[in-house]
Structure formats: structure tokens, C-alpha cells
Structure 1
Amino acid sequence: MIADAILKSLVHPKTKASVATVDSDMIRFTDGHSLPIIQARPILLSEDSLFTIEGILQNAATTQEATFIDTQGSMKNYLRKRVLPSLAKDFHIGKRYRELAQTVNAQGGRVLVIGSGDKVVYYKNLFHTCEVVCSDVHLQLGADCVIDAHEIPFPDAFFDLVFAAQVLEHTMNPWKVTQEVQRVTKIGGRIQIEVPQNYPYHGQPYDFFRFTFTGLRVLFEQCSVAKASITESNAAMVGVTLGNYMMNLSAQKYYRQGALFLSRFLFGWLKYLDRFTLHQRSVSSPKGYAFTFLKDGEVRKGAALLEEYYALKP
């Protein structure tokens, strides 16, 4: 649930008008617009959004459904997520998040998580000294609010950290999203972005882009790169691609289930090769990247955006 002080600091997602009044089921803005509060969580979508208030109320399927990640009520999901070997593994995710959290927690402040999914509790525990706002495009998994990242409903320079992992590829206009993310981040604040470069089409139809190392970097022209790393490298990409190929040889349900099971054992070991082959040239075809940007407000153009090209760290 969003703290009252943050709730009153909201702006209308499209007009950026400030809040006039808040009651138990409605936020009213100074320009006459109003948006609903459902289950104590504000639905902060304008009419321009791909997502709708009606869809939220109906629990319409979006990029991540509760039924797809439920490992308690679904044996298939339990086997897929908890038992079978994975085709890719981010070996440094724990270290990366601990280091980020150590820095952010030392400063306190506010954190916005875009696309929190089923990790609301995880993010709030990770950034435990901060006011954490977990957002998503639905209410199925306990987010504090519903927002569209193309129109972030918070004022300029409001957050000390904006965190979006495996989200940017699901946005129709990532250029607009990254401008909004930079807008709501304070000078001196951080932006954590993690994206795929090579990964099968997923979360359809809400899957739009893939990003190269430099392609992601140039979207954040008001930021320097504090850290850049490959999350899952070339061997993981090969395993994922081969597994996807096997599954897609047929659309028949039981074939695909069998292919999923078999491919995990045939190709799951490949990811461990990435422990020994990660280097600068790995940017050619990894599965994905993680960037920690530091907003300094200096607007970079052209070659200045590419100065950190080889600043890879594990």
C-alpha cells in the first residue's frame, strides 16, 4: 500500500496535474480528472494507455498472469519452475542486487519498481530502509498501484532509485519510457534496467523489442553508467534457442510438454560454460544485460553516449 504522503504527491499520468483530494475509492486531480482506487490501490492509467481500468477490474491477461507463475496450484508450473533444470542462469544476480541495495539503503529515500510481478515482498525487503512503491499493469500479484511506464504518475525528481527488470521489452515505446524514468529520478539517483538481447517472443502480444548493449545505453542520455554487466551470456542464449526450437517443432500440447521436459535436460548444462567464457566480446550474442545508470542531468549526444562501451564487469 502506498503511504499517504506519496499518494498525495501523485500527478495525473497524462496531464501531470497534482492531486486535489483523495478518498477511499477515488483520487481527484486539480484539472478535474479523477482516477479510481481499487482494493486500496490506485489505478493510474490515462485514456492513452494500452491498458484500461476495465481490464484491470476483469483481471485481463497481460505480460505476467498469476496462473502462469502459480507453483502451488499447478503441477506443470511447479515442475517447470522448481524441478526441471533451467536453460539460463544469472549467476551474479544476488551479488548485483545486494550491492545496489547496500548503496540505496545507506541513503534511504524512495524507490519505484516498475513491473514488480510476484516479487513485491522481495523488493520491499531488499530496499528495507526506503519507501518502496511496487507497480505493475495489473493487480493480480499485489502491486501497490497500477501504472503505465509511458506515463509515470509521479512528479519530477521524485525517486532515488527506479528499478525495472525485464520490463522495457514489453513497452510499445521504450524511448518514451526511458525519458519518463529519467524525469522522475533525482539528480544523483540510480536507475536499474535489465533487458534481453536474445530471447523468444513471450508475454504475447505485449512483447515488442530487444536491446543490444549500446542500444540500451543510448536510451539514457541524462545518465552515466555506474555498472554494466551481462546477466546470462552466449552459452545460455544457445540453450534457450535450442530449447525453443525443439518446442516449436509442433503446436500439439503434449508434444510441447515433452519437448520442454527433454530440452531442459539436453541443454540445461550449457549455461555453466558462461562461467568460463565471459569477456568483452560476449556482447555479440548474450541473452541479456543489466545496467545501473547514475543520473547526473548532463545530456549526452553522439559519441559521448558510447564512452562506456567496454565497461563490462561480472
Structure 2
Amino acid sequence: MGPTILAIESSCDETSAAVIKNGKVLNNIIATQSVHENYGGVVPELASRAHQQNIVPVVDEALKTADIRKEQLDAIAFTKGPGLLGALLVGSSFAKSMALALDIPLIEVNHMQAHILAHFIDDPKPAFPFLCLTVSGGHTQIVLVKDYLNMKIVGETRDDAVGEAFDKSAKLMGLPYPGGPLIDRYAKEGDPTRFHFPDSDIDGLDFSFSGIKTAFLYFLRAEKRKDPEFVEKNLSDICASLQFSLIRTLLMKLEKASTMYGIQEIAVAGGVSANSELRNTLETVAKEKKWNVYVPQIQYCTDNAGMIAIASHYKFLSKEFSSLYTSPEARMKI
């Protein structure tokens, strides 16, 4: 019998709670924050306030739909980071208070580690060791995963994340936030070879996306001087060409890592893993390279508490509790 854990995620603009029991994620409750659409990006202070409003009803719904009383919980887990400081504080403060009140262990979870462990929520699950490409608005990494809690970053972005490149490029085209999914949608009708944007092929397995963002900015400026309606007239082709360049960069490094480590178990995680073209291209490359590829369900790609729950399950089994928790045995010795 495994533990029953309440998990809380509040790293950015999603307030989420999930319950896991015996290693099975029972639910994944997510409250989104639409307020940021008015500003073209996440406003940290507004995100923090929205988390304060959402966290109690979200946690309450998670417990109710899982048919779990708080007295039945064995631990409380929360996202320690990385993320927005104010947003993280709301989730961590709630989790700490609840754990102290119930006198049960507190488990701190790394957000990026949780994205990788989301692959163990449902079947099929990758075999160790495997390589995981973690792609989101804040991170782009290639991680060598040797075990549930034994991971090593072997490549990462030196400047901007690929998710940011998607969203900032969308903003330059006048698309609303979040722009990444819109680029994916418009690209389906476009020609990915019509416009060319430079690759950021730097040494090793690291990435760089600042160059392509700058090139895209100057490209739009030059074309709009010739025709102010250039973006509107060519939106699908622009999106398809930009997306092709960004995904080509990701896959080029992933192929290099696979060859370097001799690993054909390949996973993709993070918000950008919901991108349909990335999934399709990865499937094509997998057939050529004879890779076994794993991508989580869409609900576990973006920020969510389900991934925090599965990560906390393995941390509980390894007794990796927060230093803020003092076990009854230890208290007896004080």
C-alpha cells in the first residue's frame, strides 16, 4: 500500500491540486487565470492574488472528488520552484500550514523534475535510462534520467526558453497571449519552407533561442515596411516557418544526445510538448532512429498538480521530506 498525498502546484499562472493514492493519480484539478490575457503575458502580482483566491476551492475540490478526508492524508506536497516567487509562496505557505496542522510530512518538489516524472502517471512508461527533452516557457533542457530521483541535465538553453520564443514571436505578430498554441494552430495551414530563420547551432547539447527571436523581429520590421499588412496576409506561412525552425533546433540537439549516450528511450515533457508539430516531427524521427518515444497526456504537459503528485510519491517512498517536518520519533528525542 502506497501513501495518500495531496499535491499543490502554483509556480506560475495555474492553481492546481491533485490527490495520489497507492501511486495512482486520482484527479488533477486546475484553475486557470484569464486576467493575464489583457497584458500579453503573466503579471506576477496578479498571479499571486489569483492563487490566493483559487487555492482553497481547488484543494477542496481535489479532496472531495477523490473522496479523501484530510485526516486520511499521509503527506502534503508542493512545488518549491522554479517559478514566480509570489506564486510559489502562496502554494508553499498553504502546504506548510496544512501539513503542520495535520502533523504529517511535507514534501518539496522541483517543478522541472515533476514534468519528467509525469511520464509515470500513465502507461506506457519509459525504461531507465532515458533522455527527456523538457520544453516550457521558462526552460529548455535535455535531461539524462537514470532513476526516478536520479537525473542529470546534459544540455540546456544559454538564454531564452523555446516556449518564450514561441510566445514572444506571437506577440510581435500581434497575437494574444498565450501565443504559442496559436502559432501551432495557424501553422497547420502554412508552408514551413516559405521563410527561412537561422538555426542556433552552438557547441555541445546546449540551446540558444535569442538569435532566432532577434532575426524574427528584424524580419517582421523589414517586411512590414514594404507592406503594413504583411503579417495578416502571410500569417499561416510565417507561423509554419518559425515553428519549423524552432522544432528543428530542438530535434537536432535531441538526436545528438541520443547518439552521444547511446539511448533510444526518448521522452518529451513541459508545456511545449503539447505542440502538435513537435509531436508529429518526433514521431517521424523516432521511426527513422528506432526510438521509443513517450509524451504525457496533454493535461500533464502544462503546469499541473498531477505531476507534483507522482513526484511526491517517489520522494515519500525514499523518505525525502522537507526539513520543516519533524517526525514523532524525532520529537520524542528532543
TM-score (normalised: structure 1): 0.32
- Structure ranking higher on relative contact order (CA contacts 8 Å, 6+ apart): 2
Q: Which has more helix, going by share of residues?
A: 2
TM-score (normalised: structure 2): 0.30
